[in-house]
Structure formats: C-alpha cells, structure tokens
C-alpha cells in the first residue's frame, strides 16, 4: 500500500472549490492507519476533507507540529466531531504561551484550548518523552532538534512566555512526523522553525537512513540570503529527490530552489501526493 498525503489546508488552493487560509493541515494514510498533522487556522480544513471524501472522525492520530494558531485553530471543531476517537500527540511544551512582536506590542498567536478542554472533550493525549518517539511501526515523531547549522539561528519576532518570563521562542515544542519508507525517509514538517537543515541532519542521524522527500513549510519566508542559499545547497547535495512545499516557505525560497534545478510540487489545498511502499 502506498503512502498517500493529502493537503487539507494551505495558503493557496489547487482548485477553486477548495478553501484556503494562512494555515496548514496534512493528512497521511499508510498501512491502514491515518495520521493528521496540524489542523489549520480554523475548521475550514474539515470542509476540504469532506469534499475530498476523507472522514477525519476515523483518524488514528492527530499530531500538532507546534503551538501556533495557524496549525491548531481547527482542533476544537475536530475534537467535537470525532468525539475522542483519535489520539492527540503533543510536545510536553505545547501549551507554552506564544506571541509575535508586532511593532511596540506582543500579539498572542497561540492555541485557543488547554489541557482542561481536552479532558472535558475526552481526547486521549500522548506527550512523547523521547526525542525520537516510535508512534507505530515505521512512523516516528522527532523533537528536540539541536542547532548545528549556525545560519539557521536567525533572530525572529517569535516570543514565548515560560516560567513567568518573556523570551525569544526556541520552539522547544516543535515536532516533525517521519515515515520510514523503502526508498528513504519522508519528512513531514509543519514549519521547520528549528531550521530544515538542522531537522534533516537530526532525522538522518537518529534514524540512520537517507531522506527522499520533504513535505510542509520550511519557514524561509523572511530569511536572509545566506540561509536560503545554504538551504538550497544542502538539499541539492543530499540528493533529496522530492519536495512538496508551501505555507511559510515563501516565494523567494521556492524560486531559489527551482532556479537551482529542484522540482517542487505545490502544497495547495486539495493536492494529493503518493509514495510507493
């Protein structure tokens, strides 16, 4: 059976009848199980799922890549619809309060639910305590991505409130979903705030296999030239053969990758991608 990944929500849409918004939601189906990464900024991803004949109430796992509202905004509606049938996989740091610097003030961009809400809705919640967590056979959740590539440590306006103090957000809550396929690893990232090069190097080191594909957002939208150039060079040198990118990757990042000869599949709402198992 092939690995099928469907874009339920992205900033753009593949056809006019799909919804789009600044958010991300990807549905992966593999070996009889269903994995939902992120829930968009609102319930609109569920409308797209219905049009695509995807029954999200039967999802086995829902993984939230990090605690920003454009990735978790539709989770309340999903919880009410699914009535506790799936397992929600969250980093232990997921509920840290998230903000973005907006000129002279901080604007909240975190989640609209907490642990108490999940208990009320009877949602089974999994908090991985391992940085390489085997979710099921051949499927991993990776977290605690170290900073190895210095050019990916760019200053940002993202702020976290933790222990009563505001500080630059190091995205301790970020986790990526990885499928161990015969032709190589398939890395599914929500935003890759820790840097896609740092992420890929960590995935390879921990799982001991090459990467064949990256799917999701690379957060190059506001990055400097060095980071974009080094990212393009890394992807080419590693021979990563398939990229499906969107959301926070940014037009400039995508254009530079394409100019270097890398073929990129748009991740627009409604896009379906398949990998042979």
Q: What is d(CA 187, CA 27) in angstroms, rounded to the nearest whole number?
A: 13
Q: What is d(CA 198, CA 218) in angstroms, rounded to the nearest whole number?
A: 11
Nearest alpha-carbon partner for 192 in 222, 217, 173? 217
Q: What are the beta bridge partners of residue 126?
A: 89
For the stretch 69-86, pLDDT in tens is 999 999 999 999 887 789
Domain 3-275 top-level CATH class: alpha beta
Residue 8 contacts residue 269 (beta carbons within 8 Å): yes
For the stretch 209-232, pLDDT in tens is 999 999 999 999 999 999 999 999
For the stretch 86-120, pLDDT in tens is 999 999 999 999 999 998 999 999 999 999 999 99
pLDDT at 155 over 90: no
Choice between 1 and 205, residue whose per-residue pLDDT is larger: 205
Domain boundaries, the chain: 3-275
Range 119-137 average pLDDT: 96
Interacting residues of 222 by C-beta distance below 8 A, sequence separation 6+: 156, 250
Residue where the block lists tokens 């935003």: 191
**If you ran DSSP here, which 8-state letter would residue 57 be given?**
G
Nearest alpha-carbon partner for 5 in 28, 32, 37, 34? 28
């Amino acid at each position: 059976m092939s690995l099928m990944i469907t874009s339920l929500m992205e900033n753009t849409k593949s056809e006019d009848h799909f919804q789009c918004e600044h958010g991300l939601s990807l549905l992966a189906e593999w070996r009889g199980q269903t994995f939902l990464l992120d829930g968009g900024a609102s319930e609109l991803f569920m409308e797209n799922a219905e049009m695509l004949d995807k029954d999200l109430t039967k999802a086995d796992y829902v993984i939230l890549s990090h605690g920003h509202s454009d990735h978790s905004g539709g989770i309340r509606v999903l919880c009410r619809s699914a009535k506790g049938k799936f397992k929600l996989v969250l980093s232990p740091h997921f509920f840290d309060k998230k903000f973005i610097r907006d000129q002279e003030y901080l604007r909240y961009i975190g989640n609209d639910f907490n642990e108490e809400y999940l208990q009320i809705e009877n949602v089974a919640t999994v908090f991985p305590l391992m940085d390489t967590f085997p979710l099921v056979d051949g499927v991993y959740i990776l977290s605690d991505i170290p900073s190895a590539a210095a050019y990916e440590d760019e200053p940002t306006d993202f702020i976290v409130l933790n222990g009563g103090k505001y500080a630059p957000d190091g995205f301790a809550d970020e986790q990526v979903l990885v499928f161990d396929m015969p032709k190589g690893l398939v890395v599914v990232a929500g935003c890759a705030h820790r840097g896609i090069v740092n992420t890929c190097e960590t995935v390879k080191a921990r799982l001991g296999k090459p990467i064949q594909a990256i799917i999701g957002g690379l957060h190059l939208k506001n990055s400097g030239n060095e980071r974009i150039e080094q990212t393009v060079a890394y992807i080419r040198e590693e021979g990563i053969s398939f990229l499906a990118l969107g959301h926070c990757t940014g037009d400039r990042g995508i254009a530079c990758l394409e100019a270097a000869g890398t073929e990129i599949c748009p991740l627009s709402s409604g896009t379906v991608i398949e990998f042979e198992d």
